[in-house]
Amino acid sequence: MKLHVKKGDTVKVIAGNSKGNTGKVLLVYPDKNRAIVEGLNKVKKHQKPQAKNTQGGIIEKESPIHISNLMLIDTKGNVTRIGRKVDIKTKKLVRYSKKSGEVIK
């Protein structure tokens, strides 16, 4: 299944606790339809002391957000829907902004 967001895209959250915030996609889980966005949907996790973190304690980390709650921001800074079409020059499938019509890299 093709998803409308990829790693490295800038997205805006349209629903949930982080609604209205923007961030960069760090990871995408296609099997779960979720993505981790930098600095958003933070949760606190209690961690035991380990080799990496000898102190232990409560750490904050990003938790996955469902992809349906994310909208892509194009190069002009507009929130847009995504379409797919075959590029005439390269004959490959590319994503494009439905609002402006330009190809998204």
Q: For the chain, what are the domain ranges?
A: 1-72, 74-105
Cα(44)–Cα(11) distance, rounded to whole angstroms?
23
Percent of the chain with pLDDT over 90: 73
DSSP 3-state of 16: coil
Reply yes or no on whether the pLDDT at 53 is more than 80: no
- Where residue 85 falls among pLDDT bands split at 50, 70, 90? very high
CATH code reported for the domain at 1-72: 2.30.30.30
Q: What is the value of pTM for the model shown?
A: 0.82
Cα(57)–Cα(43) distance, rounded to whole angstroms?
14
Amino acid at 16: G
Q: Quick one: pLDDT at residue 76?
A: 86
